[in-house]
Chains A and B, each alone.
Chain A
Amino acid sequence: MAGRTGRRRLITALDANAERLGVRIGMAVTKAQALVPGLIIADSDPAAETEGLTKLALWALQRISPVVMADPPDGLVIDTTGADHLHGGEAAMLADMIKRFAASGVEARAAVADTWGAAHAAARFIARPAIIIPPGESEAMLRTLPLQALRLDPETVSGLITLGFETVGELLEQPRAPLALRFGPEIGRRLDQALGRIAEPVDPVRSPELIEARKVFGEPIGAAETIARYIAKLVDALCLELEKHGLGARRLDLLFHRVDNTMQYVRIGMAQPVRDPKRLTRLFRDKLETVDPGFGIEIMVLVAIETEPVREKQTISSLVEEPEPDVSDLVDVLANRVGDRMLCRFTPVQSDVPERSVARIPPLAPETGLTWEGDWPRPPRLLPRPEPVETMALLPDHPPVWFTWRGVRRRVRRADGPERIRGEWWKRDAELTTVRDYFRVEDETGERYWLFRSGDGEHEDSGSQRWFLHGIFG
């Protein structure tokens, strides 16, 4: 990609192949062409790029967090405070984000840090796809990075390099006044922003088609009861608007603009589209304790980020058939409390391998009416992975006489088996010949365990012939 800066044509973006051949961003186009014969050059279109970035930002807004901002030319700023646990922690969130971007053909690097400035620097100047800077360690990280990491304009950076500065750490050691005199206040401001000494508000993107309700207060509010009262009013207003469009909300964001120019937000998700004000208010009220009003809240904005058409259902009015109680509101309350992924129903999968026979489905998925087939009893507790045990057993198909598990030796009194489970060769080639022989054994005190031998006891290629404990019966 080539762009125009003044009268010079410069390289503005390049792919991995070009980089390997020595082309760099900021290089003159003529020089790059001389370096790599046959270089494909396309003119960049800044307007289209900004538009694409805004689209990405809107996608992130729906998926990740309510406060997202496009950071041209090539970045997204996402405030994930309080949103990471819904994605299974910061590391999982970043990994998931990068994977999703990769799936749509965008190569991305992500970083989480205390401040916008620190995250900006880490994402661009540490050569790893996902970086998490623990709270309070931003300064140590920043010290080692080059001056370009500070989001200063190129002239200032080159001026500083002329003076002999190389890293942010060296700049931090210097007294501020002479630097400000020479380069203006920009350096001090960027340093303070990166270290979190002054606030840097994020102005979230909004799409015009989002339905929202807004309340501006003449006098900032702070009391929990007052906030709760206005939440109810906002929810009412939003539900009226949703009803006009025939929609129900799947995801709602409530943003609080505080007087100190920072933002707090609450996001709730619903398993089904909802526009019942009582239910929505209830969900917000549960989360209210996470909001810190600080010196007061000036503006409250309620936005329906994801909406879906609502299908009205007729309730059963027959006297014979009892209506099934609706638990979707409970599912919503719990999902917003512990996270969406922590709720599930288990459903059978056609597989004899125990750990593969169970799949998770959403709690409100339609009823399948299926259950696990087979008469062999299954243990109520299954170990996360089979644990090796020491045993003494007759080959090929006798249960063990005794076994030692977690340092305790147990004599087997009675046993049942083997139940032979063959590997699923259509899943992995290695499972073509593998076999597991499962035994239910009972020890002297009546405790029952689920043991298996990896292998059929005769053929070497059927498994390691070692014994494992896989579950505990009641």
Chain B
Amino acid sequence: MPSHSVSPAIAELRERIAHLEGPGGRARSVLPFGLKDIDRRLPGGGLGLGCLHEVAGGGNGAVDGAAAALFTAGIAARTKGKVLWVVTRPDLFAPAIAQAGLAPDRVIHVEAGDEKALLACFEEGLRHGGLGAVVAETARLSMTASRRLQLAAESSNTIGLALRRWRRQTEAGDFGQPTASITRWRVSVLPSRPLPVPGLCRARWLVELIRCRAGESGDFEVEACDDTGRLALPSEVADRSPQKEIGRRIASG
């Protein structure tokens, strides 16, 4: 946020707002993505730690939530401490989460019977304060529920990740309803770059920052999480960079 050319009146107002927001309102620590394009859009240069964030999949991803789960696992992998992962449908395959950088020792999985129990577990995890991140795969998230979760996250400085996932494609319109979360993301898959040989290269995602409190929204085309949970910007060079090619030629010659 630009801090220059601020009149004393505005500075005073800011101070008062900060006072109203309570401790940690402004001086929140953040978790940067490590990609300048994305971090630039987020207030503080990264995902706020004591905040609730929403992630959903686009297209068929709204139902299977596969890309969204990896995106979320990548964020959780970069926090410190244990991670609580609450689900109602037990179809998460743990090896994939480990491949996104979230070691199996760090994740405690909870299978809640219904949405109500899931939200209760989510809130409990956020209030505890000893966890690195709490992930919950939820379909419904009302304004009231998300407000409670946001307050719980603020009180303990734990990052809350609501992975929105619906039973049917038609229910995904629910994602337009307002909630109290700080950011809202949609992750959709894109066709990957063709390789010169048969095979698949790193998956490519369209990550849309649909809503961001005190920040701008934006679309980013990124390459999927690597084994430490980091995204990457796709290189636009056709096959591989010429620099590398020259280096290899020298090495082999």
A residues with a Cβ closer than 8 A to B are: 324-327, 329-331, 333-334, 337-339, 342-348, 354, 357-358, 363, 367-372, 377-384, 413-416, 440, 442, 444-448, 471-474
Contact = CB atoms under 8 A, between A and B. Distances in A.
Contacts of A339: 113
Given A384-B91, A414-B199, A444-B191, A379 B108 contact: no
Contacts of A345: 104-105, 107-109
A344 B120 CA distance: 18
Contact of A474 (B66, B105, B200): B66
Contacts, number: 162
B112 to A, nearest CB: 5
Contact of B198 (A357, A415, A448): A415
Nearest to A345: B108
Contacts of B195: 414
Given A442-B191, A474-B71, A347 B104 contact: yes
B117 to A, nearest CB: 6
B98 interface: yes
Contacts of B110: 334, 338, 342-343
B178 interface: no
A255 B197 CA distance: 70
B111 A380 contact: no
Interface stretch (B14-22, B36-44, B124-132, B211-219): B124-132
Contacts of B131: 325, 327, 330
Interface in B108-161: 108-113, 117, 120-121, 124-125, 128-131
Nearest to B108: A363
B60 to A, nearest CB: 6
Given A333-B124, A342-B111, A447-B189, A358 B194 contact: no
Contact of A415 (B82, B117, B200, B224): B200
A291 to B, nearest CB: 18
A118 B116 CA distance: 34
B124 A330 contact: yes
B29 interface: no
A357 B95 contact: yes
Interface majority SS (helix, strand, loop, mixed), chain B:
mixed
Contacts of B64: 381, 472
Interface in B55-77: 59-61, 64-71, 73
Given A327-B130, A380-B73, 11 more contacts: A327-B108, A338-B110, A342-B111, A342-B112, A348-B95, A358-B95, A371-B98, A381-B69, A382-B91, A447-B60, A474-B70
Contacts of A377: 96, 99
A16 B87 CA distance: 47
Interface string B196-237: 001110011100000000000000000010000000000000
25 contacts: A325-B82, A330-B124, A334-B124, A337-B117, A337-B124, A339-B113, A342-B111, A342-B113, A368-B104, A368-B105, A371-B103, A372-B98, A377-B96, A378-B96, A380-B66, A380-B100, A381-B92, A413-B191, A416-B198, A446-B191, A446-B204, A472-B66, A474-B66, A474-B71, A474-B203
Contacts of A445: 59, 189, 191
Interface string B74-102: 00000001101000000111111111100
> Which one of B94, B110, B112 has the highest number of Cβ atoms from chain A below 10 Å of its Cβ?
B94
Given A370-B104, A381-B69, A474-B69, A330 B94 contact: no
A13 to B, nearest CB: 42
A156 B66 CA distance: 68
Top 10 A-B residue pairs of the complex, sorted by shortest distance between their CB atoms: A325-B130, A474-B67, A346-B94, A382-B93, A474-B66, A474-B70, A446-B191, A380-B96, A378-B95, A446-B189
Contact of A326 (B61, B130, B205): B130
B200 A414 contact: yes
Contacts of A357: 95
A325 B81 contact: yes
Given A378-B96, A380-B69, A416-B198, A367 B117 contact: no
A473 B204 CA distance: 12
Given A380-B66, A474-B224, A344 B121 contact: no
B77 to A, nearest CB: 12
Contact of A380 (B81, B92, B117, B128): B92
A313 B97 CA distance: 32
B21 to A, nearest CB: 25
A344 B95 contact: no
Contacts of B95: 348, 354, 357-358, 372, 378
B11 interface: no
A368 B96 CA distance: 18
A22 to B, nearest CB: 50
Nearest to A357: B95
A474 B68 contact: yes
A343 B108 contact: yes
B35 interface: no
A345 B85 CA distance: 10
A345 B105 CA distance: 7
A445 B189 CA distance: 7
Contacts of B104: 345-348, 368, 370-372
B96 A379 contact: yes
Nearest to B187: A474
Contacts of B103: 371
B194 A414 contact: yes
A416 B194 CA distance: 12
A51 to B, nearest CB: 40
A367 B104 CA distance: 9
Contacts of B198: 414-416
A344 B107 CA distance: 9
A474 B108 contact: no
